[in-house]
Amino acid sequence: MTVMDDVTTKIKAPASIDMALVAGPSDSLLRLIEEGFSARITMRGDEIELSGDAIEVDALTMLFNDLMAKANDGEVPDEHYVKRLMALLKTAEMSPKALRDDIVMTYRGKAIRPKTAGQKHFVDAIRNNTITFGLGPAGTGKTFLTCAMAVGALQRREIGRIVLTRPIVEAGESLGFLPGTMMEKVDPYIRPLYDALFNMMDASKATKLIEDGTIEVTPLAFMRGRTFDDSFVILDEAQNTTPEQMKMFLTRLGFGTKMVVTGDESQSDSPRGATGLASVRETLMGIDDIAFVDLSGADVVRHSLVQRIVAAYDKKR
């Protein structure tokens, strides 16, 4: 018996799209989608027919349109990408199109954009607030997306400089006993910030911007007593700050400046007890122009095993 709400729709792919990319190797992506939905999916040549519950057909239409758009851009969809799209559609938080249309910046012709609903909320919060806190586990793109937002703002001349900072937490050996100059001693701690920059800028250009002071990468302790105007200031690994350091950082805010604080409370290396990240939400919640965005295991965009590791640790809390 046919359910009254059942519908049938057809999607015709443009001739420029290789439908083998949409279906996946040996139709692996098509099978994955079929397992996730009750609606019937029939793919013949450049046409896809969808039959079933109207809500599911609408979701599948958005999903296949997104896969075709990705293939048309010369990208190859994979299982991780399809699983994220399916999860997005089933939570009904937003459409895949909202993610594809949100280009944070472009590097070497490749668009950098949020990949999950949580990441989309994060970049929107950065756009709409002066201070944004991005909190969540490893692999959720906190540092990468924040650096992309900063570089994009610099390219558009919305700001005059980028400042990236991390707290220095000694592990096992005192910095004073390590060889080299002070900057050589702290370099391993802030090296991940350089890595994030070099992932979205030519190394020679990034080096030049660092040399002329347009981009500054510095330990948090070196920021005391300074004020930053017309800047995009990023505090990474904030779970390793003390409450006093967090207050010091936030009060460096000057005119025309955005600040983003990222961290994961579950990975604090601080031996000093309460962290600046642990108490800042309660202290600042409710103040206009400050946003808190919580990312979760569902926003992990690294290897799928990282997502499972995060979930396993969350269960033990």
Please write the tens of the pLDDT for every residue from 240-258. 899 999 999 999 999 999 9
Distance, CA of 303 to chain centre: 14
From 77-86, 125-134, 191-200, the region with the lowest mean pLDDT? 191-200
CATH 3.30.1370.10 segments of the chain: 6-100
> Which secondary-structure segment (H or E) carries 290?
strand 290-294
**3-class state of residue 50 by DSSP:** strand
pLDDT at 266: 77
pLDDT at 302: 66
What's the rounded Cα separation, in Å, for the pair 219 and 183?
Answer: 9
Average pLDDT over residues 155-172: 82
* Parallel, antiparallel or unpaired: strands 231-235 and 258-263: parallel
What's the rounded Cα separation, in Å, for the pair 135 and 238?
Answer: 9
Would you say residue 179 has pLDDT above 60?
A: no
- In this structure, how many other beta carbons lie within 10 angstroms of the beta carbon of residue 131? 20
Confidence grade of residue 262 (pLDDT, cut at 50, 70, 90): very high
What's the rounded Cα separation, in Å, for the pair 224 and 245?
Answer: 9
Q: Phi first, then psi: give them for residue 138, nearest 5 degrees.
A: -60, 145
Residue 299 burial (10 A CB sphere; 0-12, 13-18, 19+): buried
**Percent share of the chain, pLDDT over 70:** 83
| CATH code for the structural domain at 105-316 | 3.40.50.300
Average pLDDT over residues 226-238: 95
Average pLDDT over residues 67-83: 88
CATH 3.40.50.300 segments of the chain: 105-316
Look at the pTM and tell me if it is higher than 0.75: no
Would you say residue 183 has pLDDT above 90?
A: no
Would you say residue 171 has pLDDT above 60?
A: no
What's the rounded Cα separation, in Å, for the pair 44 and 72?
Answer: 18
Owner of token pair 């409370």: 265
Average pLDDT over residues 271-279: 76
Decide yes or no: CATH 3.30.1370.10 for domain 6-100. Answer: yes
What's the rounded Cα separation, in Å, for the pair 317 and 306?
Answer: 17
